[in-house]
């Protein structure tokens, strides 16, 4: 970074805004060379501000060309205001005034995908967090809420559809081939929820009748070639609307709800009021092109954005430190929605897996921050797993502490008390406390302290006294913001199993009890216990902590078979496999021969033979801990050892369980009768898990099975699973053939091409970096399309540890090259891509030096704030 280093912004410096904007009238003239933006802001001094006659400081990006500025109808000249890189300042203003402003912007040249930009010929916006300041001068902060009226003028031929927030109120034609449309949004909102779309779009219509009997028009806008991929999103939307009424009593508030799909998008989707804009990969689906996981993801994201209408839009954030107020709560809401739509246990397993690998790693790295960060340099860097996923876990713990009923009272109070306001995470907790009468004082530390607490449990049983005791200790490792942590309030859900595997009654017929950990060390006593029980700890993953208890392999196998808590049954299997694999990793490192302990084979035999189990659960139970999870748990990460050991265990299991795996494959495979329901999805997941084991045997007859599945599949789940197994195998000509056939079949569909790129990027074969570079050189690759970048570069660097961490450091050099190039085009994507390099301290000294050298090389150039923050914090 050569210029002055960017400054950090601190929560403690928050001041209420000195000015407010009551009305915002916007007028856009969209053009092929440039777009003219006229704004008319009705403003006044904020009576709650203590800054007296402060000057007005509007946010505005350097790229804005200011054409005209008027105060109460009179032109201001350059001497009446001051402009710098980020703002425009006007002094000596009256208490009430109207400010009019004309700016010129160039959406065609905007590759950052923030503000107004173009994607495949259509105009669209992305304003969260601070994109509005790239459109016009404004108070671009979430505690300034205004009603908006937006007029869009554009050429009718190329932009027949003109959309913005709220309701369409007027439209008309001009003589020059242009037409216009005016939208009015009656709900006050911050600028980050503003949206505009203009393009040649087709629409699919539907409708929803709310619980109070209002009819809401639902509209999904897509490019014409995607019309056959709309049904699932619309069905998901209707389920979301009904669910939010049933579970939270929340009804939709406008007469129209629109979703637009765009190909160029930095994130998954955006909850703009009444006009959600989605990354096409998170909304478009049909069975031929979309996997089961894809369908489920879309349902979850459609729900997420819809739920934001209350948790985010009607009640929004006071400042960006409060981001988890809307995101943590909304992720919790969408997770519960998905759990209710499908399998609760499977959804929980998936969410916890993500948290324990990616969020725990973030918490242990240089970017660790509390759910409510205390400072940031670039807010875009804080759309993190901590704010989203850990934030959702924190809300889940409140739900656990209060119980469903009190939690609902709390959320009702929160929405009622703060409707139309911009508030803080503390306001949220206060509402929960006030409604339930439960003290969350100590619990608030979850918002202010970073790091993953470690909970160590030991126990003893006194047969004579019939007394069982749990001793629990908690501590939390140091993180950048603080070395010493105060104890957290941790709800630890516990069950006790007797020798038959039945739950003991822990009082009043309760079989799971919540223990409240509030001190560094505590003891919990259970009386009247007739024989030594086996504890089932942290049921349902009741808190985002690392739990330690010295389970024996035998005890874990027992829990896998008997625990009444589905999550813990799965987790016992994970613990068993982790223990064995950690032993094997060190065997490998010491040059000892690898031998797989029988306990895992026995456990898996039971799982595979038990026909009473849900196939989705069986598939989850069979899935070995991921390389990323093993890495997170390691003292010093050895990517090669982790990869080889995991492959070894998989192959050994496949050898020992061939017959059962083949049965599972045959039994669950359905040919030609595609269905998308929980049962069919479960069967496909087990079928493909079994095939993945069998393929490790490298037998031609199994290759034939995979090839047959690849060729005959009537759905993407089966086709892609087969493709990736063949493509990652050692069958050279077959893998090339499958890859090229797949490309031939799907080259017209960009979303499928992305999956094809990812399959190649995640290949553990030694030539994968070379392949990735070759694919980047092809015309289909495009550095300005984030989905392409994520599918190829992101997948290689983030999901192919063994190749990214090649001993020669070429993976690191490659990533640094890409970050340097991308940072000029799209800083948000560049800085996100950096994540794997930031974890350099977790590796051996050779790799550390290689990774550090690349970070320093990046640091030496001119950098965006986004990348500067990540790199400088990583090197600190």
Q: Is 299 a catalytic residue?
A: no
Considering the complex, state which of residue 359 and residue 536 has its C-beta at the smaller distance from ligand PHE: 359
**126 contact, one of ligand PHE, Zn ion, none, CB 5-8 Å limit per kind:** ligand PHE
Closest separation between CB of residue 590 and ligand PHE, Å?
A: 46
Q: Which of 824, 834, 835 minimizes the C-alpha distance to 784?
A: 824
Asked if 193 is part of the footprint of ligand PHE (rule: CB under 6 A), the reply reads no
* DSSP states along 263-285: S--SSSEE--TTEEEEEGGGT--
Q: Which stretch binds ligand PHE (CB under 6 A): 126-134, 500-508, 834-842, 849-857?
A: 126-134
Query: Cis peptide leading into 395, omega within 30 of 0?
Result: no
| Cα 625–chain centre separation | 20
312: alpha, beta or left? (left if phi > 0; alpha if psi -120 to 50): left
| Cα 196–chain centre separation | 24
Neighbouring residues of 334: CB distance < 8 A, sequence distance ≥ 6: 300, 301, 303, 304, 307
Length of the chain, please?
Answer: 876
Q: How many chain residues interact with ligand PHE (CB under 6 A)? A: 13
Single out the residue of 185, 327, 393, 866 in contact with ligand PHE (rule: CB under 6 A).
327
Binders of Zn ion among residues 518 to 547 (CB under 5 A) are none
Q: Minimal CB distance to ligand PHE: which residue? A: 267
Neighbouring-strand partners of residue 222: 202
Closest separation between CB of residue 377 and ligand PHE, Å?
A: 16
| Cα 221–chain centre separation | 24
Single out the residue of 271, 363, 459, 823 in contact with ligand PHE (rule: CB under 6 A).
271
DSSP helix/strand/coil, 67: strand
Considering the complex, state which of residue 267 and residue 769 has its C-beta at the smaller distance from ligand PHE: 267
CB 132 within 8 A of CB 116: no
Closest separation between CB of residue 303 and ligand PHE, Å?
A: 11
Q: Which stretch binds ligand PHE (CB under 6 A): 125-133, 161-169, 364-372, 743-751?
A: 125-133
Pairing relationship of beta strands 74-75 and 422-423 according to DSSP bridges:
unpaired
Asked if 263 is part of the footprint of ligand PHE (rule: CB under 6 A), the reply reads no
Closest separation between CB of residue 8 and ligand PHE, Å?
A: 20
Considering the complex, state which of residue 422 and residue 517 has its C-beta at the smaller distance from ligand PHE: 422
Neighbouring residues of 715: CB distance < 8 A, sequence distance ≥ 6: 287, 288, 674, 684
Binders of ligand PHE among residues 82 to 101 (CB under 6 A) are none
CA distance 580 to 597: 7
Task: List the structure tokens of 866.
Answer: 């986004």
CB 169 within 8 A of CB 151: no
Closest separation between CB of residue 277 and Zn ion, Å?
A: 13
Largest CA distance in the chain: 96
Please report how the helices 658-668 and 598-609 are oriented relative to each other, as an axis angle in degrees rounded to 10: 30
Q: Which of 798, 797, 776 minimizes the C-alpha distance to 785?
A: 776
Neighbouring residues of 723: CB distance < 8 A, sequence distance ≥ 6: 710, 738, 739, 742, 756, 759
Considering the complex, state which of residue 223 and residue 327 has its C-beta at the smaller distance from ligand PHE: 327
CA distance 751 to 745: 13
CA distance 711 to 742: 9
Considering the complex, state which of residue 308 and residue 765 has its C-beta at the smaller distance from ligand PHE: 308
CA distance 729 to 742: 16
Closest separation between CB of residue 266 and ligand PHE, Å?
A: 6
Draw the binding track, 307-346, toward Zn ion (x: CB under 5 A; -: no contact). --------------------x--x----------------
**100 contact, one of ligand PHE, Zn ion, none, CB 5-8 Å limit per kind:** none
Catalytic option among 100, 128, 305, 627: 305
Closest separation between CB of residue 370 and Zn ion, Å?
A: 18
**310 contact, one of ligand PHE, Zn ion, none, CB 5-8 Å limit per kind:** none
Draw the binding track, 294-323, toward ligand PHE (x: CB under 6 A; -: no contact). ----------xx--x---------------
Q: Which stretch binds ligand PHE (CB under 6 A): 264-272, 506-514, 796-804, 849-857?
A: 264-272
Closest separation between CB of residue 243 and ligand PHE, Å?
A: 17
Strand stretches in 354-435, DSSP E: 375-376, 422-423
Considering the complex, state which of residue 25 and residue 114 has its C-beta at the smaller distance from ligand PHE: 114
Binders of ligand PHE among residues 374 to 393 (CB under 6 A) are 383
**128 contact, one of ligand PHE, Zn ion, none, CB 5-8 Å limit per kind:** ligand PHE
What are the Cα distances from residue 560, in Å, to 22, 496, 577, 582?
59, 14, 12, 19
Secondary structure letter of residue 843 according to DSSP: B
Closest separation between CB of residue 114 and ligand PHE, Å?
A: 8
> Which positions touch Zn ion (CB under 5 A)?
327, 330
Residues that are catalytic: 305
> Which positions touch ligand PHE (CB under 6 A)?
126, 128-129, 266-267, 269-271, 304-305, 308, 327, 383
């Amino acid at each position: 970074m050569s210029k002055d280093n960017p400054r950090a912004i601190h929560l403690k410096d928050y001041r209420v805004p000195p000015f407010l904007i009551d009305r915002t009238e916007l007028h856009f003239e969209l053009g092929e060379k440039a777009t003219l933006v006229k704004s008319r802001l009705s403003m006044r001094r904020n009576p709650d501000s203590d800054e007296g006659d402060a000057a007005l400081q509007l946010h505005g990006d350097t790229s804005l060309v200011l054409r005209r500025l008027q105060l109460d109808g009179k032109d201001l000249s350059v001497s009446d205001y001051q402009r710098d890189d980020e703002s425009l300042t006007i002094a000596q203003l009256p208490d009430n005034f109207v400010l009019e402003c004309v700016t010129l912007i160039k959406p065609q040249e905007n590759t950052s995908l923030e503000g107004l930009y173009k994607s495949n010929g259509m105009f669209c916006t992305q304003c969260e967090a601070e994109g509005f300041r790239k459109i016009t001068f404004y108070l671009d902060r979430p505690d300034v809420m205004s009603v908006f009226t937006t007029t869009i003028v554009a050429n009718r031929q190329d932009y027949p559809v003109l959309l913005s927030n709220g309701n369409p109120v007027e439209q008309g034609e001009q003589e020059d081939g242009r037409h216009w449309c005016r939208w009015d949004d009656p709900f006050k909102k911050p600028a980050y929820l503003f949206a505009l779309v203009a393009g040649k779009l087709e629409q699919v219509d539907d409708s929803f009748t709310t619980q109070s009997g209002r009819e809401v028009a639902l509209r999904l806008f897509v490019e014409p070639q995607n019309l056959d991929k709309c049904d699932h999103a619309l069905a998901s939307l209707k389920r979301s609307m009904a669910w939010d009424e049933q579970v939270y009593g929340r009804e939709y508030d406008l007469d129209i709800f629109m979703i637009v799909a765009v190909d160029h998008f930095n994130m998954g989707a955006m909850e703009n009021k009444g006009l959600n804009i989605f990354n096409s990969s998170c909304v478009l689906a049909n069975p031929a092109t979309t996997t089961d996981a894809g369908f489920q993801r879309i349902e979850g994201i459609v729900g997420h954005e819809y739920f934001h209408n209350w948790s985010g839009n009607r009640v929004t954030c006071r400042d960006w430190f409060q981001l988890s107020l809307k995101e943590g709560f909304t992720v919790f809401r969408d997770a519960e929605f998905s759990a209710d739509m499908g399998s609760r246990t499977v959804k929980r397993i998936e969410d916890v897996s993500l948290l324990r690998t990616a969020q725990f790693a973030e918490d242990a790295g240089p970017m660790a921050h509390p759910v409510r960060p205390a400072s940031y340099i670039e807010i875009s860097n804080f759309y993190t797993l901590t704010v989203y996923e850990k934030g959702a876990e924190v809300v889940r713990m409140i739900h656990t502490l209060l119980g469903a009923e009190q939690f609902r009272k709390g959320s009702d109070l929160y929405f009622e008390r703060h409707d139309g306001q911009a508030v803080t995470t503390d306001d949220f907790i206060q509402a929960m406390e006030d409604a339930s009468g439960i003290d969350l004082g100590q619990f608030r530390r979850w918002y202010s302290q970073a790091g993953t607490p470690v909970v160590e449990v030991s126990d003893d049983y006194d047969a004579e006294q019939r007394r069982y005791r749990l001793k629990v200790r908690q501590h939390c490792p140091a993180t950048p913001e603080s070395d010493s942590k105060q104890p957290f309030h941790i709800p630890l859900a516990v069950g006790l199993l007797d020798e038959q595997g039945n739950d003991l009654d822990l009082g009043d017929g309760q079989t799971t009890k919540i223990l409240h950990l509030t001190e560094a060390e505590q003891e919990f006593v259970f009386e009247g216990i007739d024989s030594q029980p086996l504890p089932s700890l942290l049921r349902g993953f009741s808190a985002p902590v690392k739990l330690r208890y010295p389970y024996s392999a035998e005890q874990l196998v027992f829990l896998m078979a008997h625990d009444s808590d589905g999550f813990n049954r799965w987790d016992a299997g994970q613990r068993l496999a982790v223990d064995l694999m950690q032993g094997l990793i060190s065997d490998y490192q010491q040059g000892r021969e690898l031998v797989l302990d029988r306990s895992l084979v026995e456990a898996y035999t039971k799982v595979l033979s038990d026909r009473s189990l849900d196939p989705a659960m069986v598939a989850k139970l069979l899935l070995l801990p991921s390389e990323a999870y093993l890495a997170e748990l390691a003292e010093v990460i050895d990517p090669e050892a982790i990869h080889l050991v995991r492959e070894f265990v998989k192959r050994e299991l496949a050898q020992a369980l061939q017959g059962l795996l083949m049965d599972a494959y045959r039994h669950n495979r359905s040919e030609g009768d595609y269905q998308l329901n929980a049962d069919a999805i479960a069967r496909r997941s087990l079928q493909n898990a079994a095939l993945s084991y069998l393929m490790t045997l490298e037998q031609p007859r199994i290759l034939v099975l995979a090839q047959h599945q690849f060729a005959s599949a009537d759905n993407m789940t089966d086709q892609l699973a087969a493709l990736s197994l063949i493509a990652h195998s050692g069958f050279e000509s077959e893998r090339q053939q499958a890859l090229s056939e797949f490309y031939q079949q799907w080259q017209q569909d960009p979303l499928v091409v992305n999956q094809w790129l990812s399959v190649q990027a995640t290949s553990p074969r030694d030539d994968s970096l070379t392949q990735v570079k070759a694919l980047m050189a092809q015309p289909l690759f495009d550095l300005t399309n984030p989905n392409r970048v994520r599918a190829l570069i992101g997948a290689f660097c983030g999901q192919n540890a063994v190749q990214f961490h090649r001993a020669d450091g070429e993976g690191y050099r490659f990533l640094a090259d890409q970050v340097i190039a991308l940072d000029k085009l799209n800083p948000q994507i560049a800085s996100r891509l950096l994540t794997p390099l930031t974890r350099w301290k977790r590796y051996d000294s050779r790799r550390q030096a290689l990774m550090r050298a690349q970070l320093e090389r990046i640091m030496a150039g001119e950098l965006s704030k986004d990348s500067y923050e990540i790199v400088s914090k990583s090197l600190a």
